[in-house]
Amino acid sequence: QVQLVESGGGLVQAGGSLRLSCAASGTIFSIKNMAWYRQHPGKQRDLVALVTSGGFTNYADSVKDRFTISRDDAKNAVYLQMNSLKPEDTAVYYCNAQVVSRPWGADNDYWGQGTEVTVSS
């Protein structure tokens, strides 16, 4: 079993910055894609940013040039640096990881519990 634990959410004024962290623990052989999603109240969960095991990154248009995703494979961790925050970035942010738990095994999708980000105007 694998657990993802997020941290770093909170309240910040518009224009400010926050850094989200997510650490995976448990039975981990390797991790493929790692990503951050967010969910606004009453809306579906949307992809914010993704980083592959090879370091390729992809961002939602709404956060390009403001957010940066990175990963530390030695720590099984993924980070989201969020700059120039806007009120519309207010949401619950979820960490996601595609984890392979044994050699030649299939990957499984895991989610963190979510961390709340509130940006005041």
**Looking at residue 60, what is its pLDDT?**
98
**Looking at residue 97, what is its pLDDT?**
98
**Looking at residue 46, what is its pLDDT?**
97
pLDDT in tens, the chain (121 residues): 999 999 999 999 999 999 999 999 999 999 999 999 999 989 999 999 999 999 999 999 999 999 999 999 999 999 999 999 999 999 999 999 999 999 988 999 999 999 999 999 9
**Looking at residue 117, what is its pLDDT?**
98
Nearest to 20 by CA among 35, 32, 41: 35
DSSP annotation string for the chain: -EEEEEE--EEEETT--EEEEEEEEES-SEEEEEEEEEE-TTS-EEEEEEE-TT--EEE-GGGTTTEEEEEETTTTEEEEEE-S--GGG-EEEEEEEEEE-STTPPEEEEE---EEEEEE-
**Looking at residue 39, what is its pLDDT?**
97
**Looking at residue 58, what is its pLDDT?**
98
Alpha-carbon distances of 28 from 54, 83, 89, 117, 118, rounded to whole Å:
17, 31, 31, 28, 32
**Looking at residue 74, what is its pLDDT?**
96
**Looking at residue 54, what is its pLDDT?**
96
**Looking at residue 52, what is its pLDDT?**
98
